[in-house]
Amino acid sequence: MLTNENIQQRLTEKFGEQLTNWQEPYGMLTFTANKEINLKVLQFLFDDAELNFKFLTDLQAVHYPDNKGAELAVVYHLHNWVDNVRIRFKVFTDIQQPDVYSATALFQSANFMERETYDFFGVNFVGHPNLIRILNVDEMDYFPLRKEFPLEDQTRIDKDDDMFGR
Amino acid sequence: MSEHILLPEGSIEKQTTTLNLGPTHPATHGVFQNILELDGERIMKATSTVGYIHRAFEKIAERRNLFQITPLTDRLNYCSSPINNMGWHLTCEKLLGVSTPKRVDYLRVIIMELARISDHLICNSIVGVDTGAYSGFLYVMQFRELIYEIYEEVCGSRLTTNIGRIGGFERNFTNTAFEKLEKFLDEKTGYPAQLKEFENLFTRNRIFMERTIGCGPISAERAMNYGFTGPNLRAAGVDYDVRVHSPYSSYQDFDFTIPVGTTGDCYDRFLVRNQEMWQSLSILRQAYQKVQEFKGAEAEVFHADTPAYYLPEKKDVYTKMEALIYHFKIIMGEIDIPAGEVYNAVEGANGELGFYLISDGGRTPYRLHFRRPCFIYYQAYPELIKGGMLSDAVITMSSLNLIAGELDA
């Protein structure tokens, strides 16, 4: 049976001090790696017979504007179906140069998810076959889920919304 | 699938035809665009475009309180919105550390399994419509109507249900709701008889089999790599089901099996969905029996005791100070959510529906991401239809159970 301690031990043996910030929020093992080694970690988790994390459940980003130099976090959720264990793996990147290696070679499912992450956060996935906007219009020149774009102020009065009953 | 035979060089000006299937094609059942390169009737290449009805739910959710996000989840997979609602409530409860009474869990199972049936019956009957058999669609539709009447009895609305609250339901199930459920489960006049008839129409129908067997197949390995979940993955032969792997809402108390297919083609997907409906009916019977076993005061329990998140009853608001305070705090959104990050998944009707919620301790989520199953498995569509006929592409799309609202969030 694969437990969080086993996974942490196995990963620490392989990567040592490169993996940091080990946590277990609500039972899910969470750790952070340097963005340069994200593919190495994913590949190791995929190939290792004991770890066996062969399913990419989810991939998205989070914007932390106050975290200078590492504003964007790309979050991978991986699932081992044999032992039924989930883990969460994060890499942080500078918003000025948001280059992260693409996981599309390992997981076909990463294709749309990385495009969506690019679309909303501007993470530049290096090696992605077709990194273009997916849900927003192609002409958009900003990344809407970043925190510098607040939602419209609901108390504004300069807009004529009579037709919409507001 | 098969070898492509191109016309000899120079025989016509352009060797392939470009065809726009969608965005508003009647056969696509939703807003999907596919640019197809056709050699005669055979598809050489397909390019998918999505995002026509994107509504920025993730951004909107960053300014809403937890209970205000429930109506957003309705509009993801609108064929089975109660599952989305329940998934969201369960995510909130996980973050807030709320545990629900058994009766609430069983009532939720009833609603979720009804929603699963209503989703699968639409999907399967639409596959029938696309193969040219319209009557099956009409036969099962009256039972979707009955399911919607049960929703209406519980929450007051039918399609975008906004059903349930954090901690339970907004009100107890009425006797009418249970009567309608009994009517639905009746062996002779209810849905089981209708489903049997539906299966008689399709399962061994020669024309249907010829149209769907070998159409849009995918291997288990490719399906896993493409992020398939739900019936589409199980049709390829992988027995992954969130209800079994990480039971939520007391699914571990029920006895049911997970049907799996072998080839992952349209026929297998159809059979897996049909079998899942039988399993759902069995779960419904078990859940209804368990609900009936509660007697006296226990039979009146329909929500957990979480005054800070569950809206108090209106008559208490008028008479009790504490209830008034909580009412005000909940409605004005003045309750801080504990900081933390949580991923919670439920088995939606078309796959693993996940909610990734990050809270920084404020009143609204810091970030909320929906893992929408059909957004992820739709990537495989060009590969599934490549080499097949144009008419097979239409069946493949409907048998994948793609819901545009969920795809585009």
pTM of the model: 0.91
* Rounded Cα distance, B161 and B78, in Å: 9
Whether B356 and A113 lie within 8 Å, measured CB to CB: no
* Mean per-residue pLDDT over chain A, rounded: 88
* Amino acid sitting at position B151: Y
Q: State mean pLDDT over A112-139.
A: 91
The first and second tokens of residue B79, run together, are 């064929």
Looking at residue B12, its pLDDT comes to 59
Residues in chain B with CB shorter than 8 Å from the CB of A145 are 58-59
According to the model, what pLDDT value does residue B1 have? 47
- Of chain A, the percentage scoring pLDDT greater than 90 comes to 36
Give me the residues of chain B with pLDDT under 50, please: 1
Reply yes or no on domain B57-408 having CATH 1.10.240.10. Answer: no
CA A25 vs CA A21, B88, B337: distances in Å: 12, 18, 15
The letter for the amino acid at B331 is I
Of B56, B343, B375, the CB nearest to A77: B343
Complex confidence, ipTM: 0.89
Domain range summary for chain B, segments of one domain joined by +: 57-408
Least confident of A3-7, A120-124, B181-185: A3-7
CB contact under 8 A, B54 and A145: no
Whether residue A116 lies within 8 A of chain B, CB to CB, comes out as: yes
Average pLDDT over residues A62-74: 90
Read off the pLDDT of each residue in A47-69 and give the average, rounded to a whole number. Answer: 89
Cross-chain CB nearest to A135 (options B50, B366, B379): B50
Of B50, B59, B352, the CB nearest to A151: B59
- Classify residue A99 as exposed, middle or buried by CB count within 10 Å of its CB (0-12, 13-18, 19+): middle
Residue B332 burial by Cβ neighbours in a 10 Å radius (0-12, 13-18, 19+): exposed
**Half-sphere exposure in the Cβ direction for B113 (13 Å, CA):** 28
Under the phi-then-psi rule, with left for phi > 0, alpha for psi from -120 to 50, and beta for the rest, what region is A27? left
Q: How far is CA A36 from the centre of its chain?
A: 14
Beta strand B42-49 pairing with B33-39 = antiparallel
Class of domain A4-149: alpha beta
State the smallest CA–CA distance between residue B97 and chain A in angstroms.
10
Asked if A54's CB is within 8 angstroms of B54's CB, the reply is no
Residues 8 through 27 of chain A touching chain B, CB cutoff 8 Å: 25-26
